[in-house]
């Protein structure tokens, strides 16, 4: 009887989805063209997305043009070892992927977060091990009030739902308001976020000894995640990894790139 009930329920759900698709047909996440399945891109937009695949630097996650051999690090990691253990991103940041980020960030398109998070889970599967804690990069309260949502928290929440991992937005706070990073050079970005993050009140004891996966939308120069990782490591985190939806192409933006 239970099995029959479950089959009836699944059939009802499929029927409801068909009705919903008829009322609001699935659309491309980027251009809003009609698609066959919800949460996808049309063939034209899909071809424009540049997903990050191996070979990559095992630490920074920066894609290599050629296979450099197992364990070979990018020059930036060798020159300036980052405070995180590993960083991964799903896609290269360009005019096409930027559309998804800006829709989520500024246009209240929270419906995009679950689909973007799926790509992030695929890219960061080695980071998302059992026991890892998801911590989104926080916004300053005033900016959070103005923007109405924290896009990093929305992505982390969707990743938590998809993996069963715990999300703790209270582990990290932005202690002071900073300028927006857009338009700043790599050096200006570092100075802008220096000392901007600290553990949440009374959370250092919970952070100590834990594996943290810091979640953000875009890895640009690395200044923001460096500052956040420093705060988590000072609080005693055993391991801090970074997972972002997109990352800036180092070869196309050498002035900004800074692991």
Write down the pLDDT at residue 5.
52
Tell whether omega for the bond before 55 is within 30 degrees of 0, i.e. cis.
yes
What pLDDT was estimated at residue 17?
44
Higher pLDDT, 105 or 123: 123
Token pair listed for 109 = 């398109």
List every span in the chain annotated with CATH 3.40.50.
50-248
Kindly indicate the confidence band of residue 22, based on its pLDDT and cuts at 50, 70 and 90.
very low
Task: Please enumerate in sequence order all residues whose Cβ is within 8 A of that of 139, keeping only pairs 6 or more positions apart, or say none.
Answer: 147, 150, 152, 174
What does the alpha-carbon distance between residue 44 and residue 240 come to, in Å, rounded to a whole number?
Answer: 37
Q: Give the model's confidence band at 68: pLDDT under 50 very low, under 70 low, under 90 confident, else very high.
A: confident
pLDDT tens digits, residue range 181-231?
A: 565 556 666 666 666 789 999 999 999 999 999 999 999 888 889 999 999
Pairwise pLDDT comparison (251 vs 2), residue with the higher score: 251
Q: How far is CA 53 from the centre of its chain?
A: 16
Contact 205, 234 (CB under 8 A): no
Given a cut of 70, whether residue 23 has pLDDT beyond it is no
Q: What percentage of residues in the chain have a pLDDT greater than 70? A: 77
pLDDT score at 2: 46
Tell which residue, 220, 170, 230, has the closest CA to residue 195.
230
How far, in Å, CA of 33 to CA of 251, rounded?
32
Give per-residue pLDDT as tens, 54-64: 999 999 999 99
Q: What is the mean pLDDT of residues 47-53?
A: 92
Q: What is the mean pLDDT of the chain?
A: 83
The residue assigned the tokens 């973007």 is 116
Tokens of 243: 């997972």
Q: Rg of the chain over CA atoms, in angstroms?
A: 20
pLDDT at 71 over 90: no
Question: Which of the 8 DSSP states describes residue 110?
Answer: G
| CATH node for 50-248 | 3.40.50
d(CA 157, CA 214): 12
Average pLDDT over residues 130-148: 84
Of residues 155 and 192, which shows the higher confidence score? 155
User: 92 forms bridges with which residues in the sheet?
Assistant: 247
Q: Residue 15, exposed/middle/buried by CB under 10 A (0-12, 13-18, 19+)?
A: exposed
pLDDT at 82: 94
Check pLDDT > 70 for residue 27. yes
């Amino acid at each position: 009887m239970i099995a029959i009930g479950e089959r009836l329920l699944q059939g009802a759900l499929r029927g409801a989805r068909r009705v919903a698709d008829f009322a609001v047909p699935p659309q491309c996440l980027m251009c809003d063209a009609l698609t066959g399945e919800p949460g996808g891109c049309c063939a034209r937009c899909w071809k424009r997305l540049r997903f990050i695949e191996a070979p990559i630097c095992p630490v920074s996650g920066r894609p290599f043009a050629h296979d450099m051999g197992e364990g070979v690090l990018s020059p930036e990691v060798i020159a300036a070892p980052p405070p995180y253990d590993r960083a991964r991103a799903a896609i290269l940041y360009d005019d096409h992927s930027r559309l998804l980020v800006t829709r989520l960030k500024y246009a209240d398109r929270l419906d995009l977060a679950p689909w973007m998070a799926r790509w992030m889970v695929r890219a960061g599967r080695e980071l998302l091990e059992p026991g890892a804690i998801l911590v989104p990069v926080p916004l300053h309260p005033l900016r959070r009030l103005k923007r109405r949502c924290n896009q990093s928290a929305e992505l982390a929440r969707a990743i938590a739902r998809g993996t069963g991992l715990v999300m703790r937005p209270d582990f990290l706070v932005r202690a002071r308001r900073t300028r927006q990073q857009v338009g700043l050079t790599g050096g200006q970005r570092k100075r802008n976020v220096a000392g901007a993050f600290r553990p949440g009140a009374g959370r250092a004891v919970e952070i100590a000894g834990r594996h943290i996966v810091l979640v953000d939308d875009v890895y640009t120069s690395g200044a923001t995640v460096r500052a956040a990782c420093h705060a988590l490591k000072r609080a005693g985190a055993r391991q801090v990894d970074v997972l972002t939806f997109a990352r800036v192409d180092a070869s196309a933006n050498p002035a900004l790139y800074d692991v």
